[in-house]
Amino acid sequence: MRKFWLTTLLSMLCASSAQADSLLLQNANVVDPKFKTIQKRDILILDGRITAQKTNVEKKYRTIDLAGKYIIPGLIDLHVHCGGNPFPDGTYEDLGPEPTAKAMLYSGVVAYLDLFYGDFAQIFRARNLQQTEPSKHRDEADIYCAGTGWGNWNLTKDPQAAVESYIDRWKPDVIKLIYGRDSLDKVNLAKAIKGATKKGVKTVVHIGSWEHGQDAIESGATAVTHFFDDEVIPNEVLKVWAKSKAVSIPTLAAQCDLANLTSKPLLLKSKILDGLEPASRLATYLHKDKFTKKTLSVLKWQKEDTQNDMKSLKKLADAHVQILAGSDTGNPGTIQGFSLHREIKLMQDAGYSTWDALASATTKAAAFLGRPSGIKDGDFAELVVLDANPIQDIANTQRIHNVIHHGNIIDRSALVAPK
């Protein structure tokens, strides 16, 4: 009985705080990545959700005319390390869960999945606070997280039991497994996946070769992350993958963009980057005399292998393997928030259709997280308003006019520190 009253009280409190927000977006070109359509229509937002349009509502709600603008569902990054941003000269911008969540939201990214944060109690705390005190965290992208990554260093003799008790204790959104030479072997990988699957939690497996990818798929992994750069995906692996339901999170930004950003200065001229980083920090991408040894070695590897990544992506796409967007920020050549836009641009460059690339970072990524996000009745009101058509060129996702999150227009300038 006591529980009943508590539930009733909580739902009353939630309802009264949410009802304050309503918004009618008029005359925009609404881009639906799920059905590949662009329609001129209005979107009514009530209580943080998109609501079926009612007639004669203009007078009742706050109205914004978005004629000439394009609306897409909020972006979602499925491979993040929220520690911070490394720059080519060795400087490191420390962030952590909440500052990353602000940089993401500034960039139109309404949710991110962290896949291995050193201080995992801290990221679980940040995620849980967003859920228990939502009104205090409206200016942050929603955090999903794996907490730790699983490898030889933290798996006991019974990997299945270890993963199961970790899930009971921390309630991670996914289990991240690092599979490879110096980490899990195939037997332990399979046991760990079994533990997660039994608890109904998705698994994301980091691979260091295409054979690892095949092992992960055959062991029942939900997602395989990274490409093996040394070679284009072999047909035998592709065949196994195409028959499975496993998705790919390629992380092209982390695998290719140090080479791109250091050789194509125009890429740094992005409206998003102008807000996120001071010009002096962005200039470190162009001062080759100040690159660290690590930068130079990553650069060498990327210059040699980028074409393999692009070809692998096209092969996976042609084989109808589901591809989801994750930038692997925290690694050289990436910047939190910005790099998700690069990820989908790289997919487009590799020959993936623009519609599919957009879906991989919006509706499909949301489905992976079990998040009702899109442009239909009942979806979370999380939208990005753009100045130009993203289907003409996906780089137009960087031309952000407004970000709407939890039904509110975000004051983006308040999210980034004054430069």
Token pair for residue 314? 């096209």
Stretch of 256-264, 289-297, 326-334, 356-364 contacting Zn ion, by CB under 5 A: 326-334
Window of 3-11, 184-192, 275-283, 327-335 that interacts with Zn ion by CB under 5 A: 327-335
CB of residue 149 vs Zn ion: minimum separation in angstroms?
8
As measured in angstroms, the least distance from the Cβ of 299 to Zn ion is 19
Nearer to Zn ion, 98 or 328 (CB): 328
Cβ neighbours for 187, distance < 8 A, ≥ 6 positions apart: none
Q: Choose between 328 and 343: whose C-beta lies nearer to Zn ion.
A: 328
Shortest Cβ 56–Zn ion spacing (Å): 50
Which one, 76 or 404, has the nearer CB to Zn ion?
A: 76
Tokens read off for 265: 């200065």
Nearer to Zn ion, 117 or 124 (CB): 117
Q: CB-wise, 340 or 384, nearer to Zn ion?
A: 340
DSSP per-residue letters across 107-148:
TTEEEEEE---SSHHHHHHHHHHHHHSGGGGTTSPEEEE--S
**Segment contacting Zn ion by CB under 5 A, of 152-160, 168-176, 325-333, 390-398:** 325-333
Q: Whose CB is nearest to Zn ion? A: 328
CA within 13 Å, CB half, 46: 11
Q: How far is the CB of 79 from Zn ion (least distance, A)?
A: 6
Q: Which is nearer to Zn ion, 328 or 349 (CB)?
A: 328
Q: Pull the structure tokens for residue 62.
A: 């706050």
CA neighbor of 406 nearest in space, from 123, 13, 16, 110: 110
> Can you tell me which of 142, 328, 343, 382 binds Zn ion, judged by CB under 5 A?
328
For residue 21, the minimal CB distance to Zn ion (Å) is 35
Q: Total binding residues for Zn ion by CB under 5 A?
A: 1
Residue 274 has a CB neighbour count (10 Å cut-off) of: 14
Q: Work out the widest C-alpha separation in the chain, in whole angstroms.
A: 70
**Residue 411: is it exposed, middle or buried by C-beta count within 10 angstroms (0-12/13-18/19+)?**
exposed
Binding footprint of Zn ion on the chain (CB under 5 A): 328
